[in-house]
Amino acid sequence: MNRLVVGALASLTLLAGCDKGKSGPDPFALLEGEGIYKAECASCHGAAGEGQADWRTRRADGKLPAPPHDASGHTWHHPMAQLFAMVKFGMVPPNAPEGYVSDMPAFAGKLTDKQIHNVLAYIESKWPAEIHARRAERFPPQ
C-alpha cells in the first residue's frame, strides 16, 4: 500500500507539472483512473496495457488495432496535453488527418475532464522510471 501511495504521489506530481491551473493532486485519483481504465479502455488496450496483437499493422478494414499503453507502445512519446485531447475528442485533427477512421472512441460527454486526467495518470503510473526520465527530458515543465 505504501509503495502504491508513493508511486501515486510521484506520478501525480509529474502530471501536475503539465496541468497548470487545475486543482492539486488527489491521492485517490489513480484509484479512480484504474477503475475507469478497466471499465472503458482495457477491452481494446488490454488489461495490462499490452494493446491488441499486431498493433502496427492495419486490418483489412483499414483501421489500426489498439496500441499498447505500456513501455512497448508510443503513448509515452506524446505530451500529456495531446494524450488528453486524443482521449477526449478521439482521433481527429490536429491529432489525426481529417476524415481519419479509427476505433478509438471520443470520451467527451462520457468521461469528465478530471476522469480523463485520472485515467491518463493511471496509465502514466505504470511506466517504468526510465520512461519517466525520458519524458521529463522531452517535455520539460514550461
Q: Which residues bind ligand HEC (CB under 6 A)?
A: 40-41, 43-45, 64-67, 69, 73-75, 78, 83, 86-87, 91, 102-105, 107, 119
Q: Residue 51: helix, strand or coil by DSSP?
A: coil
Cell matching residue 30: 489513480
Nearest approach in angstroms of CB 102 to ligand HEC is: 4
Between residues 16 and 111, which has the closer beta carbon with respect to ligand HEC? 111
Cell matching residue 137: 527530458
Nearest approach in angstroms of CB 64 to ligand HEC is: 4
Nearest approach in angstroms of CB 140 to ligand HEC is: 20
Between residues 25 and 73, which has the closer beta carbon with respect to ligand HEC? 73
Cell matching residue 138: 522531452
Q: What is the 3-state secondary structure (H, E, C) of 125-140?
A: HCCCHHHHHHHHHHCC
Between residues 2 and 12, which has the closer beta carbon with respect to ligand HEC? 12
Which of 10, 125, 12, 7 lies closest to 71 in space, CA to CA? 125
